[in-house]
Amino acid sequence: MKVTVFGSGYVGLVTGACLADAGNHVVCVDIDAAKVALLNSGQVPIHEPGLEAIVASSRAAGRLSFTTDAAAGVAHGEALFIAVGTPPDETGSADLKYVLAVARGIGEHFTGFKVVADKSTVPVGTGDRVTEAITAELLKRGFAADPAERARLGQPDFTVISNPEFLKEGAAVADFNRPDRIIIGADSTPSGQRGLELIRQIYAPFTLNHDRTMVMDVRSAEFTKYAANAMLATRISFMNELANLAEDLGADIELVRRGIGSDPRIGYSFLYAGTGYGGSCFPKDVSALRRTAAEHGRELRILAAVEAANTAQKDVLGAKIRARFGDDLTGLTFAVWGLSFKPNTDDMRDAPSRVLIAELVRRGALIRAYDPAAMAEAKRVLALDLGGDVGRIAFVESAMAAVAGADALVIVTEWKAFRNPDFAALARGLGRKAIFDGRNLYEPSVVEAAGLAYFPIGRRQVS
Ligand SMILES: NC(=O)C1=CN([C@@H]2O[C@H](COP(=O)(O)OP(=O)(O)OC[C@H]3O[C@@H](n4cnc5c(N)ncnc54)[C@H](O)[C@@H]3O)[C@@H](O)[C@H]2O)C=CC1
Ligand SMILES: O=C(O)[C@H]1O[C@H](OP(=O)(O)OP(=O)(O)OC[C@H]2O[C@@H](n3ccc(=O)[nH]c3=O)[C@H](O)[C@@H]2O)[C@H](O)[C@@H](O)[C@@H]1O
């Protein structure tokens, strides 16, 4: 099938590449000319396991191409996916300017029948706004506003479908290829049902053994996306608060996690205490959902608490460091392992490492930072965060190079390569012999045996 994807970011590029890999002919449209040029030269601008290989093979097979030409993109696809950003606006709501710009571009150019499938995370009711934006362009082109009238006159027809995306960064290709569910929100008109069938066909190869497609109305589909992210964020904040209490109580949150996870009503996933959730989605989606509620005169009290707990948790490592070394950190050097908001990505959006590093630098410390994939992006965003004042941060080539000359080690992101370090070498390298572990990677007794102080989250501290 012929498919066009608007937006070549984490979601759009993965969607385009995976759909091309499944045999579709895909054109990806992006307004960022530099990104399009890079992709057309065979490079992939983001770190996502497995992505480069399918981009390369699909391009070689002639099934995947990139362009800035929206009109060509609209002409190409029977299905047009919208996967552009929906960042927070100044009120905390999702900014729809990119989504609506794509909608207008579609309305300006399309002929025949198109299914417009929205993959961006958008507030409930956005499907209607996209329909209105496309219809307004059709009116300008002299076509009828009413779909039945357009059908009678043989004029261009379209439907807007909600198809929220649930992939996780760092596992995006795997998640897209083996989705837990595919949500399709369609209306009950003949065009809506025609669009639904087209989208179903596109996803058929991804649901071969067990149909995971769930069909619902557009508003419920839009809401499902926010509900899922808000629920996951809630679990994390809940566990972070219990972890902090576990430290006061002399209990071990890792044992508690396993204890409650074994209850199938609770399950094991997303119960890891840490440094607070980050990334491009949970923070903005929790905030946008609260905003939607406020617009309807409601307060989502639980989500207000989830946000507050998360903001506080981002300082959990800073607080432990202050408790150990005092408020003035002048003269101390901290090795920081892991900068991206989670492993297997170079994404620094809302990464907890940014809060930690700003705090340590503000208190006079020096930083030796290392991340397996996010070094370039970290340099860029930390320079922005610190107003260009990055002289106190050394970006080094390896985990052990970060430790050389450092007083203490701080682990912010749980990259696999950090899981089994040479503790004896760490003990020799760290001047003040301490590890602050925001991801509970080690057994306290093992770290203790190496002669190191150990400050994990919600577990026994070894000091
Ligand atoms: N990053 C993730 O893991 C997930 C993100 N989402 C949602 O998907 C949407 C996209 O997120 P990301 O891929 O992370 O964003 P991103 O910021 O990585 O990529 C967005 C892309 O859209 C392009 N763009 C902006 N306006 C455009 C236009 N008019 N035409 C064509 N391209 C345009 C930008 O240049 C950029 O390359 C957001 O709504 C997000 O909430 C949903 C699930 C997972
Ligand atoms: O809407 C989105 O963009 C996506 O948001 C999340 O995916 P992502 O942000 O890529 O990464 P997650 O693995 O969910 O991690 C988010 C944050 O929560 C933290 N986290 C996660 C799990 C956990 O148990 N504890 C915890 O602190 C991570 O460290 C990270 O900072 C969701 O998991 C995806 O289903 C969703 O599609």
Residues 266-281 have a mean pLDDT of 97
ipTM above 0.85, yes or no: yes
Q: Tell me which amino acid residue 367 is.
A: I
Measured distance CA(339)–CA(123) in Å, rounded: 30
Phi (first) and psi of residue 114, to 5 degrees: -130, 140
Residues 185-208 have a mean pLDDT of 96
Nearest CA to ligand 1 atom 42: 165
Measured distance CA(386)–CA(315) in Å, rounded: 17
pTM of the full predicted structure?
0.96
- Please tell me which residue in 106, 281, 309, 355 is annotated as part of the active site: 281
Confidence category of residue 278, pLDDT binned at 50, 70, 90: very high
Measured distance CA(158)–CA(160) in Å, rounded: 7
Beta carbons of 83 and 5 less than 8 angstroms apart: yes
Q: Is the CB–ligand 1 distance for residue 84 below 6 Å? A: yes
What percent of the chain lies above the pLDDT cut of 70? 100
User: Could you tell me which CATH number the domain at 226-311 has?
Assistant: 1.10.1040.10
Structure-token pair, residue 206: 């991804």
Q: Which atom of ligand 1 is nearest to the CA of 102?
A: 29
CA dist 440 to 41, 91, 255, Å? Answer: 41, 35, 12
Residue 463, pLDDT above cutoff 90:
no
Residue 149, pLDDT above cutoff 90:
yes
Measured distance CA(24)–CA(16) in Å, rounded: 9
* Residue 338: per-residue pLDDT: 98
Q: Is the CB–ligand 1 distance for residue 86 below 6 Å? A: yes
b/e 155-171 (16+ beta carbons within 10 angstroms → b): ebbbbbbbbbbbbebbb
For the chain, the domains span 2-216, 226-311, 314-455
**Ligand 1 centroid from CA 444, angstroms:** 41
**Ligand 1 centroid from CA 195, angstroms:** 22
Measured distance CA(271)–CA(139) in Å, rounded: 51
* 278 appears as a binding residue in the annotation: yes
User: Could you tell me which CATH number the domain at 314-455 has?
Assistant: 3.40.50.720
Q: Which atom of ligand 2 is nearest to the CA of 236?
A: 25
Q: Is the CB–ligand 1 distance for residue 6 below 6 Å? A: yes
**Ligand 1 centroid from CA 205, angstroms:** 24
Model confidence over 40-49: pLDDT tens digits? 999 999 999 9
Residues 123-134 have a mean pLDDT of 98
Nearest CA to ligand 2 atom 8: 168
Phi (first) and psi of residue 117, to 5 degrees: -110, 120
Strands across the sheet with 408-411, in order?
Answer: 393-395, 366-370, 333-337, 408-411, 434-437, 453-455
* Residue 208: per-residue pLDDT: 85
Residue 209, pLDDT above cutoff 90:
no
CB atoms within 10 A of CB 342: 21
**Ligand 1 centroid from CA 9, angstroms:** 5
What percent of the chain lies above the pLDDT cut of 90? 98
* Residue 6: per-residue pLDDT: 98
DSSP of 368-419: EEE-SS-HHHHHHHHHHHTTT--TTEEE-SSHHHHHTT-SEEEE-S--GGGS
List all residues whose CB is within 6 A of at least one atom of ligand 2: 121, 165-169, 229, 232, 236, 270-272, 274, 277-279, 281-282, 341-342
Residues 296-304 have a mean pLDDT of 98
The mean of the pLDDT values for the chain is 97
Confidence category of residue 120, pLDDT binned at 50, 70, 90: very high
Structure-token pair, residue 139: 């009116």
Asked if the domains at 2-216 and 314-455 fall in one CATH topology, the answer is: yes
* Residue 320: per-residue pLDDT: 98
Least confident of 101-115, 205-219, 295-309, 329-343: 205-219
Q: Is the CB–ligand 1 distance for residue 83 below 6 Å? A: yes
- Three-state SS letters, 174-235: HHHHCCCCEEEECCCCHHHHHHHHHHHHHHHHHHCCCCCEEEECHHHHHHHHHHHHHHHHHH
Measured distance CA(370)–CA(337) in Å, rounded: 5
Residues 228-253 have a mean pLDDT of 98
Residue 124, pLDDT above cutoff 90:
yes
* Residue 199: per-residue pLDDT: 98
Beta carbons of 109 and 75 less than 8 angstroms apart: yes
Model confidence over 409-429: pLDDT tens digits? 999 999 999 999 999 999 999
* Residue 230: per-residue pLDDT: 98
Report the phi/psi class of residue 127: left, alpha or beta, with left for phi > 0 and alpha for psi in -120 to 50. Answer: alpha
Architecture of domain 2-216: 3-Layer(aba) Sandwich (3.40)
**Ligand 1 centroid from CA 24, angstroms:** 21
Residues 345-349 have a mean pLDDT of 95
**Ligand 1 centroid from CA 375, angstroms:** 22
Query: How many residues are recorded in the chain?
Result: 463
Q: Is the CB–ligand 1 distance for residue 15 below 6 Å? A: no
28: annotated active-site residue: no
Q: Which atom of ligand 1 is nearest to the CA of 29?
A: 31
Q: Which residues are CB-neighbours of 161 under 8 A, at least 6 positions away?
A: 115, 116, 117, 118, 127, 184, 185, 186, 192, 195, 196, 199, 218
> Which of 444, 448, 451, 435 is closest to 317 using CA atoms?
435
Ligand 2 mutation target, pool 119, 166, 168, most atoms within 8 A of CB: 168
